[in-house]
Amino acid sequence: MNGADGGLALLQVLAENSFDSILITEASAEGKIIYANDAFEKLTGHEPSSVIGKTPRILQGPETDEKVITKLSDALKSGGKFEDKAINYKKDGTPFMMYWRVVPIEVAKKIVAWVAIQREVPVL
Ligand SMILES: Cc1cc2nc3c(=O)[nH]c(=O)nc-3n(C[C@H](O)[C@H](O)[C@H](O)COP(=O)(O)O)c2cc1C
């Protein structure tokens, strides 16, 4: 599958219709958001266009488990994958349990971006 056979259009339709929130950031240390789907807005209350150029740190707050964020930081530094949950905050300040996975997007063995798949799970 490649751009020429409609692969990109297919991926776009998948992302736009996913029930899970999808967030893509630049590969840089700053990790600016370059894409968010409609499910991200449904989950967090942030309009996709309003978060482009910001970092997903905007979802964090006082109750966010720092150990989980350190684990994610380590995964980003080593180019590995991450999967865990932590308290995040919606635009209106409501806390919720975010369960998310972050994976690198590699082109010619170089990480060009990171993609996160996110959903709300019950706080147990
Ligand atoms: C693609 C991607 C998605 C992310 N999504 C979230 C998220 O949903 N919630 C969250 O608390 N942090 C998320 N982060 C983590 C922060 O952006 C940041 O990488 C993390 O806080 C570690 O950096 P810091 O130690 O400078 O805060 C995400 C990171 C990436 C790369």
- The model's pLDDT over 6-15, given as tens digits with 9 standing for 90+, comes to 888 999 999 9
Which atom of ligand 1 is found nearest the CA of 25?
1
Q: Over pLDDT 90: what percentage of the chain?
A: 90
pLDDT at position 30? 81
How many whole angstroms separate alpha carbon 36 and alpha carbon 24?
6
Tally of structural domains, the chain = 1
**Which residue, by CA, sits nearest to atom 26 of ligand 1?**
73
pLDDT tens profile 70-104: 999 999 999 999 999 999 999 999 999 999 999 99
| Range of the structural domain that residue 27 is part of | 3-121
What is the average pLDDT score of the chain? 94
Look-up of token digits 């968010």? 36
Say yes or no to pLDDT of 124 above 80.
Answer: no
59-65: average pLDDT: 98
CATH of the domain at 59: 3.30.450.20
Tokens of 42: 């449904």
Among the listed residues 91, 113, 120, 122, the one whose alpha carbon sits nearest the alpha carbon of residue 23: 113
Distance 11 CA to ligand 1 centre (A): 23
